[in-house]
Amino acid sequence: MAPIVSIRNLTKRYATGFTALKGVDLDIEEGEILALLGPNGAGKTTMISIICGIVTPSGGTVTVAGHDILADYRKTRSIIGLVPQELTLDSFETVWSTVSFSRGLHGRKPDPALIERILKDLSLYDKKDTMLRHLSGGMRRRVLIAKALSYEPKVLFLDEPTAGVDVSLRKDMWQLVERLRAAGVTIILTTHYIEEAEEIADRIGVINGGRILLVEDKKALMTKLGRKQLTVELAEPLAAIPPSLAPFGLALAGTGERLVYEFSTTGERTGISSLLSALSQAGLRVRDVSTEQSSLEDIFVELVGEDR
């Protein structure tokens, strides 16, 4: 199936001369949830803003459902919904009027029943006649989400939807994302919380310095994460691995005094005990044993660190 959003060699150089995107390629599949991770200033908001029409690209192309975002902006923008990072709302409008406004702006006929349902889903219905400036930060965030849902987008961009949001609202938000996915909505969200990406995403992308460093299936990433390393420190260094230990697929590290064994914690048996007995049968004296597990956080830090 063709990707719903296809980004090719997208670049952005701001008027200040700063290059925020340095050739981004990314395909987003229909119906998936893609989490974009990246440090502050990585270019997440810039990328989303270009796709939505708020920032003009300097180079490259983006298509949404096969339509070019510049030439066919009417088509692409009626498919896309955006919940911006900043809590920008009109002060003097009511919750109901601002959400209805969004629907109209996107060319949809009024549908009070739908708006009522959205507001109820987001626990905003009792605030429907409240002026926006009288809402708390978390409520404003929900109003922004309600606005984006009001025109029933097929692709939804959530730019840090859970920034500054309390734990219970965050859980609500995740449930909402789950419901939207069930309804077939493609969701792209940016976040600084790695556990959030782990919790709800199908795929995880890492962006830094205007480049995509990695986009991978969460499951594949998790199996990588499910791998552990056992490091055996030997009393005397080895020149080569003895043939009797070949089945374990060991690697020799350092100056030969360390043996590295990789195993899966998800497998039925780890093979650690047979390795240890094989070591003593081979007459090797073990000084120390340690295990290590990499987390998504490690991968992230490592990727972004290398990139600097």
Ligand X SMILES: Nc1ncnc2c1ncn2[C@@H]1O[C@H](COP(=O)(O)OP(=O)(O)OP(=O)(O)O)[C@@H](O)[C@H]1O
73 binds other proteins (CB under 8 A): yes
Among residues 2, 9, 14, 288, the one that binds ligand X under rule CB under 6 A: 14
Pick the closer one to other proteins by CB: 61 or 97.
97
- Name the nearest CA neighbour of 161 among 198, 129, 188: 188
Phi, psi of 173 (to 5 degrees): -65, -45
Task: State how far the Cα of 163 lies from the Cα of 264, in Å rounded to an integer.
Answer: 34
Pick the closer one to Mg ion by CB: 44 or 218.
44
Among residues 1, 15, 113, 240, the one that binds other proteins under rule CB under 8 A: 15
First to last CA, the chain: 36
Pick the closer one to other proteins by CB: 163 or 284.
163
Among residues 108, 154, 192, 227, the one that binds other proteins under rule CB under 8 A: 108
162 binds Mg ion (CB under 5 A): no
Which residues, other chains included, contact 100 with Cβ-Cβ below 8 Å and sequence gap of 6+? 110, 112, 115, 150
Among residues 11, 101, 216, 226, the one that binds other proteins under rule CB under 8 A: 101
The secondary structure element, H or E, covering residue 251 is: strand 251-253
Asked if 74 and 226 count as a contact pair (C-beta separation under 8 A), the reply is no
Radius of gyration over every alpha carbon of the chain, rounded to an integer in angstroms? 25
94 binds Mg ion (CB under 5 A): no
Asked if 7 and 26 count as a contact pair (C-beta separation under 8 A), the reply is yes
Q: What is the DSSP letter of 131?
A: B
- DSSP 3-state of 250: coil
Q: Which of ligand X, other proteins, Mg ion, none does residue 267 bind (CB under 5 to 8 Å by kind)?
A: none
141 binds ligand X (CB under 6 A): no
Pick the closer one to ligand X by CB: 98 or 191.
191
By the criterion CB under 6 A, which residues form the site for ligand X?
A: 14, 16, 18, 20, 38, 40-46, 85
By the criterion CB under 5 A, which residues form the site for Mg ion?
A: 44-45, 85
By the criterion CB under 8 A, which residues form the site for other proteins?
A: 14-15, 49, 52-56, 73-78, 80, 82, 84, 86, 88-93, 97, 100-109, 147
